[in-house]
Every structure is written in structure tokens, then in C-alpha cells.
A and B are shown apart, each in its own frame.
Chain A
Amino acid sequence: VSQPVTTTVEVNGFPCRVWTKGNGPKLGFLAGLGGLPRWLPFLDKLAETRTVIAPSLPGYPGATGHTELDSHLDWVLAVRQLIDKAGLAGADLVGASVGGTFAAEMAAIFPAHVGRLVLIAPFGLFDDQEPAADPWAQRRDVLPGLMCADGSKWTALVTPPEGANSVEWPIEMSRASEAAARAFWPLGNTRLEKRLGLIAAPTLVLWGDRDSLLPPSYAQKFAAGIGGGINGATRVETIPEAGHLAYLDQPDAVARAVLTHLG
């Protein structure tokens, strides 16, 4: 597996890493919980036919500046800057989990900024009848099974690679968790339902059928929120044998669904 090209952009004066790999039309990826501590087989699949550009959200691996973001508006504007500076304005956008919420916000608030849209188990809605689990208050031994259907996929994501700094690596992982908590406290209810109807981009909602963090039934709520209005083309697809971070559990199936939707 060859590594992506690393560049850095500044958001509010703080560095954010941007990874780029592949050929073809640009495709943005905003990662889910944990961010991208390493390049993924899922992204390699996409990079076969697309130029994959994956900017790190503030506080995610390779980026800082999350501590300056005090409100959801701050976060949305930071992500808008990130998208612009990574050269993704107008490109297709894939967002998962944490990144999925912001991808949806971009498409709703800045419709000209997003081509086609894929949301993989995004945060942003909260249903009292089917509450999301709290990823920030879990026992260490339970967390992997909450993130992925196959917990070892999560463990492989966050385990320090050979030669990693043994002090800074775990700090980077907890920083990513803190950044997500800052963005989504409490429990990811950003009232996104008020803005979903503004999304004009043709949208695919993907959900792992074994997501034990955000119930798969939320997929229909997203589709209903986006659907009926200007878009009308929202599709929901379920990925079998996949948990919350479906792109770790089933990289091929998720990449196939994404590329099919983007055409």
C-alpha cells in the first residue's frame, strides 16, 4: 500500500493535515470517530478511480485547533475553511460518523460547495426512543465493539504503528476523542433535522446493519429529512456485517456503494 501525499492547511491559524491520493475527479472524505491515524484500504479503493482528498478535522490526527471552537457554528465554519483550503469546494463529499454530520452541514448551508453527497452513519439527530450510545463514556474493553462490528478493526486503527512516538500517539488518539466530544456534546444532537431539508445534493445514506452506536433506524430519519424536498433522490443502503465505522468493517462494500452513487 503506497502512502498518500501529505500537505498542511491552516484553519484559524492551526495546522490541519490533508492526505491526497489517486487519480480522477476530486472526492473529499471526512472521517468518523478516531479520525485517520493511518491510511485505509477503503480510501485506496476509492483512489483507484478518484483523487481522494482527506482533510483532518481540527483536533483529529494530524490537526489541532479544536480547543478554539466553542459552538457548532464555529465548527461548521472551520470545516468550511478546511474544505475550501483542501481544494474541495464543489467536489463530491463523503462523510462518516463525525465527518458525516459536517458533510451534511456543508451540503445544507453551502449547497454550491458539495457535488454529490454520501453520509455514512452521521451524527446530528437524536431520538429519545432509540438513544445513541455515548462513545465518550465507555469502558476501554467495550469501545472497539461499539465502533466496529469486528472490534479488532477499531483496535487496528488506533494501535500505534511501528516506530510511532509512544507518548504522542495515545495523546493524539485522546485528542481526537476530545475534539469529537467538543463538537457533539451532548450525544451528537446538533438539531441537524432543521437543516436537512436544505440539502440539494443527490445523497446516499449508508449504514452498517450492526451499528451499535447510532441505531441503523436513523438512516430512514436522515433520508426522510433530506428527501421529499428539492432533492428527492435520497437513497438508503445498508451494509451487511458492518458497525458504526462501516468503512473499517467492510471497506470494499462501502467503497463500491460510494462509487456507484457518485457515478
Chain B
Amino acid sequence: MDYVYCYLSYYGYKAGLATMQGFWNEMDRLGKDRNPYRAGFLQFVGVAESRQQAMDLYTEPAEYFYGRCLHVDPRFASPPGYTTEATQRAGIESMVAKAANTASYSNKLSLKATNMKDIVDGGYVIIGSPDEVVEQIRHVAKSLNVGHLMLLLQYGNMSKDTTKYNSRLFAEKVMPKVKDLFGEWEDKWWPKPLDKDQRAAVPAFRPQPVAAE
């Protein structure tokens, strides 16, 4: 059976390249086609009217997330049996281990980026005007060959208003310009709703009376 492989990385497309290349090499070995919809990838995005405005809006939530939300006690990073020997051999660290190693004393020298410039340079968060984000999303999709992008448009301490702004701008100004990607392939994995006549009727909403004080 063919499943979708979804790589949930907090560290963006640059760090994910080796893993996704490994996935496609394995698909080649198994004689599978390179239908990009076999794969999914998680990516942080912050879109605004301009790159500068995006930096202004998303620096605090991004630094909050990468600086404060990834503290996993390294004691629990690699419990025995968690990683198969094949995976150990391939040298792929789990996301948990990555986050935990970042926090561990002995790895302080190799700290992952927690300031906005490095976060953006490292590709953890894609930042920019709608057109700049479009260009980067197209690059991510093509370089990793992924047809499903899972977008994190809320991170760290991002406010509700900023989250709605980011989401709306992405949906209205970015998504239409990436829709054409991979049009030649069929997405056999996207969930399909049941036929209407097979769906259960949604019961009418009946508000419960609130107990009087």
C-alpha cells in the first residue's frame, strides 16, 4: 500500500533536504514513481506587504518559538528502542533529539539559531512579501519534490490578529500562485468526502438552557 510520507520538521526546507532526498532515493529503489503527492513537508511562513514588514511582524513570535518552545530534556531525547538501527545507521536524528541536543549543555556550541536573521537564513521560517514567499514556496516544493505542504502560520506567541492576517494573506496572495505546481500529477492521497447520500444528517443545534444563578 502507498502511504504519504510527511516530514514534520521545525527546521525548514534547507535542513529537510537530505531526508527528503533519502525518501525519494528509497522510492526509486522500490520502483515507485516520483509523484510529489507521495510526500508532505511542514514549513513555517510569515507573509506581509513587504519583507521589512514581515520581519517586524514575525520576529518576536519566531524568536519566541525557536528560543523558548523547543526545550526537551535531553534525558528523554532517545529512549532505548525509539530509533531503529537502520535509522541510526542512516544517521538521521529525530526531531526530538535535535531539539534536545540543542538544549543540552554539551552541545551549546552548536546551538540552533534563535535570532531572526539566522532563523530566516537557515530557512526555518520563510519570510517576505507575497511574491517573495511565492518564489520561496515554489523553490521548496520543487527542490524537495513535495506536493503537500503543511504550513505553520501561527508560532510562538503570535497574536490572534497577526495569525489571521498571516493566514489570510497567504490564502489570498500566495496560494493562488502556487496552485499550478505539479498539475501534471494526480493527488491520489487527498481525503475525499463521502457521497452526500452516505453522510449522516447533522442534528439541529439545540442550545441548552443555562442554569440560573
- Residues of chain A touching chain B, judged by Cβ–Cβ distance below 8 Å, are 136-141, 167, 170-171, 174-175, 177-178, 180-182
Contacts and interface: CB of A to CB of B under 8 A. Distances in A.
A171 B74 CA distance: 19
Contacts of A178: 80-81
11 contacts: A138-B75, A139-B74, A140-B74, A140-B104, A167-B89, A174-B83, A174-B88, A177-B80, A178-B81, A181-B80, A182-B80
Contacts of B79: 136-137, 181
A139 B88 contact: no
Interface string B96-110: 000000001110000
B76 A171 contact: no
B75 A139 contact: yes
Interface residues of B, number: 14
Interface in B38-75: 74-75
B78 to A, nearest CB: 8
B85 A171 contact: yes
Contacts, number: 35
Interface of B: 74-76, 78-81, 83, 85, 88-89, 104-106
Contacts of B88: 170-171, 174
A136 B80 contact: yes
Chain A binding surface SS class: helix
B80 A140 contact: no
A141 B106 contact: yes
Contacts of A174: 78, 80, 83, 88
A174 B88 CA distance: 9
A141 B75 CA distance: 10
Given A141-B105, A175-B85, 11 more contacts: A137-B76, A139-B75, A140-B74, A167-B89, A170-B88, A171-B85, A171-B88, A177-B80, A178-B80, A181-B81, A182-B80
A178 B85 CA distance: 11
A152 B184 CA distance: 60
A90 B104 CA distance: 48
A102 to B, nearest CB: 18
